[in-house]
């Protein structure tokens, strides 16, 4: 029987991505929780290059970087529902937008108001662009990949908990009916899926965690 372990931390959106992918494939795994602010010997040994979570250990072989892990899960547990599209072009497009999401600087806790406003404006701009992507990719259905959770849903969906936290940290609603109506509905459907709803931490938990992160 295959041994599957995930080195991670509950508040991490990147770890949440991997948890959702494993849940979609109905893969049993052991969650090895890392303490924030320190790095275990196992983590340093498993990811000596970047020294960060998440790391998937499959039969003690490490796989690093969240979206690479998601692709690996899709390929290894092929009998479960597909995460990446079957069409090569659609698969390439999904990977492109997944990389785009990761290339953007995530909202941080900036002390200076100008930096904070710039970060918010950048993130809102990303979401407005992804609204257009959603309309095109979903083809009138509820999720980026149609009627089931797929790669791009996971890539963006891992951050939904932190988008809610931004309301408290920045006093701004990043997903709203005026600018991103499609994504508002998408977020509700995504978070209510059985593979997701017990993965993304509650807003209160993330707010408590945010207090421990240096600004």
Contact 153, 145 (CB under 8 A): yes
N-term to C-term CA, the chain? 44
Looking at residue 56, its pLDDT comes to 98
CATH no. for residue 71? 3.40.30.10
Q: Which of 25-39, 116-130, 193-207 has the lowest mean pLDDT?
A: 116-130
Q: Which residue has the higher pLDDT, 20 or 114?
A: 20
Instruction: Give SS3 for 6.
Output: strand
DSSP string, 80-130: S--SS-SSHHHHHHHHHHHHHHHHSPPP---SSHHHHHHHHHHHHHHHHHH
- Structural domains counted in the chain: 2
What are the tokens at 203? 């807003």
Residue where a domain terminates, one of 41, 76, 111: 76
Q: Sorting pLDDT into bands at 50, 70 and 90, what band is 173? A: confident
Residue where a domain terminates, one of 30, 56, 76: 76
Give me the percent of the chain exceeding a pLDDT of 90: 76
Q: Sorting pLDDT into bands at 50, 70 and 90, what band is 169? A: confident
Looking at residue 78, its pLDDT comes to 95
pLDDT at 208 exceeding the cut of 70: yes
Q: Please state, as a whole number, how many other Cβ atoms lie within 10 Å of the Cβ of residue 120.
A: 18
In a domain, 185, yes or no: yes
Using N-to-C axis directions, what is the helix angle for 113-138 and 88-103, rounded to 10°? 170
In a domain, 150, yes or no: yes
Contact 6, 18 (CB under 8 A): yes
DSSP state of 59: T
β-pairing, 30-33 vs 4-8, is parallel
The verdict on 40 and 97 lying in the same domain is no
Q: Which residue has the higher pLDDT, 165 or 52?
A: 52
Looking at residue 215, its pLDDT comes to 59
Distance of CA 117 to the CA centre of its chain: 23
33-45 as b/e: b if 16+ CB within 10 A: ebeeeeeeeebee
In a domain, 215, yes or no: no
pLDDT at 119 exceeding the cut of 80: no
The verdict on 18 and 108 lying in the same domain is no
The verdict on 93 and 132 lying in the same domain is yes
Looking at residue 122, its pLDDT comes to 81
194 phi and psi angles, rounded to 5 deg: -60, -30
Q: What is the pLDDT of residues 125-163, one digit of tens each?
A: 899 999 999 999 999 999 998 999 999 999 999 999 998
Q: Which residue has the higher pLDDT, 132 or 104?
A: 132
Looking at residue 95, its pLDDT comes to 97
- pTM to 2 decimal places: 0.93
Question: Residue 3: enclosing H or E segment and its boundaries?
Answer: none
CATH no. for residue 181? 1.20.1050.10
Handedness of CA 151, 153, 156, 159 (dihedral sign): negative
Of 146, 150, 142, nearest to 185 (Cα)? 142
Q: What is the pLDDT of residues 26-65, one digit of tens each?
A: 999 999 999 988 999 999 999 999 999 999 999 999 999 9
The verdict on 68 and 118 lying in the same domain is no
The verdict on 159 and 98 lying in the same domain is yes
CA dist 19 and 66 (Å) reads: 10
Looking at residue 171, its pLDDT comes to 79
Residue where a domain terminates, one of 76, 97, 128: 76
What are the tokens at 180? 């991103």
Domain range for residue 168? 88-210
The verdict on 96 and 201 lying in the same domain is yes
């Amino acid at each position: 029987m295959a041994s599957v372990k995930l080195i991670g931390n509950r508040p991490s959106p990147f770890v949440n991505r991997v948890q959702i992918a494993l849940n979609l494939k109905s893969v049993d795994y052991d969650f090895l929780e890392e303490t924030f602010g320190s790095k275990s010997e196992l983590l340093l040994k498993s990811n000596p290059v970047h020294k960060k979570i998440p790391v998937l250990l499959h039969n003690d072989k490490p796989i690093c970087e969240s979206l690479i892990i998601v692709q690996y899960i899709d390929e290894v547990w092929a009998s479960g529902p597909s995460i990446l599209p079957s069409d090569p072009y659609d698969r390439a497009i999904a990977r492109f937008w997944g990389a785009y999401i990761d290339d953007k600087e995530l909202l941080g806790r900036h002390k200076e108001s100008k930096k904070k406003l710039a970060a918010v404006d950048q993130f809102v701009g990303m979401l407005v662009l992804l609204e257009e992507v959603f309309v095109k990719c979903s083809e009138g259905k509820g999720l980026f990949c149609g009627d089931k959770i797929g790669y791009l849903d996971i890539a963006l969906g891992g951050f939904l908990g932190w988008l809610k936290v931004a309301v408290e940290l920045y006093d701004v609603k990043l997903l709203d009916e005026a600018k991103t109506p499609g994504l508002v509905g998408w977020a509700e459907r995504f978070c209510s899926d059985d593979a997701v709803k017990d993965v993304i931490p509650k807003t209160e938990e993330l707010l408590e965690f945010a207090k421990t992160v240096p600004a």
